[in-house]
Amino acid sequence: MTETFSARPIGKAMRAPKTAELIASDLRKKIVQGTLTPGQTLPPEVILMEQYDVSRPTLREAFRILEAETLISVRRGSRGGAQVMTPDLGVAARSVGIVLQFNGTTIDDVYEARMILEPPCAALLAKHRTKADIADLQAVVDELAAIIAAGHRAVPDPAAWSDLTFRFHQLILQRCGNKTLAVQAGVLADIVKTHLYLRVAQSFDEDEAPERFQRAIKAYQRFIDLVTARDAAGAEKHWRRHMEVASTYVLKDDLRQKPVVDLFA
């Protein structure tokens, strides 16, 4: 007995995808599967038009879809063309920020989610860490210490400090071994990076104690020691505690209830 399946749209009738969307889908599939690699230039428009049997406007509409997803970059002119790009997590963060803002989400809410995601990543990193992971984490701490040692003010340069601390968090996420967690937490981390820059920048107008930044460096170093020892439980507990303590600083300002999308305005 052969079963038959009849697709019956619920509510609205399903819209058939436009030709440009189908072309974009095919090219997107080739990019994510690695058939087309970052830096590679797509064939000329005339060849793609013949390959897909479409007009130039339709092909360019497909290009615009992929450009919006930061999967390609298109240059016009005689030496132009469409070049494959590595997806930009920052673009995803902006898109997520708009959705979060639509739902009334604040910076405080983002930090809460981040504190749920990131400590388990710290534990996974301790389990799977390599010598290269430890070396890269240590390099960030060494650079942070150098900034403090070379500075003449109570707080470090906000851009340099936020970039490096973001890098440390990013390494934990990227090297944890779970790609899904890495991407999800990475989107939140990019939002937090922008907020952290604004928070540290505010400190130049406040009576901030330099010991605050020294304590952050010590916390990072302790985390590296736990990861080196493959102490997953210790690394997770320490990183959660560090994030809890750090949040009392980074969220202690008028940016706390700021809508996340405003950070990228």
Section 196-201 average pLDDT: 70
Residues 73 and 151 occupy one common structural domain:
no
Residues 103 and 190 occupy one common structural domain:
yes
At 67, is the pLDDT very low, low, confident or very high (cuts 50, 70, 90)?
Answer: very high
Q: What is the pTM of this model?
A: 0.71
Number of domain units in the chain: 2
Domain-ending residue, one of 84, 116, 132: 84
**Res 9 pLDDT > 90:** no
Residues 182 and 57 occupy one common structural domain:
no
pLDDT in tens, 10-54: 455 567 789 999 999 999 999 989 999 999 999 999 999 999 999
pLDDT in tens, 201-217: 665 545 555 677 888 99
pLDDT in tens, 150-171: 765 555 677 788 889 889 998 9
Domain-ending residue, one of 67, 84, 101: 84
CA distance 56 to 45: 7
CA distance 84 to 70: 9
Domain that holds residue 132: 92-264
Q: Provide the CATH number for the domain around residue 52.
A: 1.10.10.10
Q: Provide the CATH number for the domain around residue 184.
A: 1.20.120.530
**Res 120 pLDDT > 90:** yes
CA distance 174 to 182: 5
Domain-ending residue, one of 62, 84, 106: 84
Q: In the prediction, which pLDDT does 2 show?
A: 41
Closest CA to 253 of 210, 195, 211: 195
Residues 29 and 110 occupy one common structural domain:
no
Q: Please check whether residue 2 lies inside any domain of the structure.
A: no
Query: Taking the CB of residue 216, how many other CB atoms lie within 10 A of it?
Result: 20
pLDDT in tens, 234-258: 999 999 999 998 887 776 665 567 6
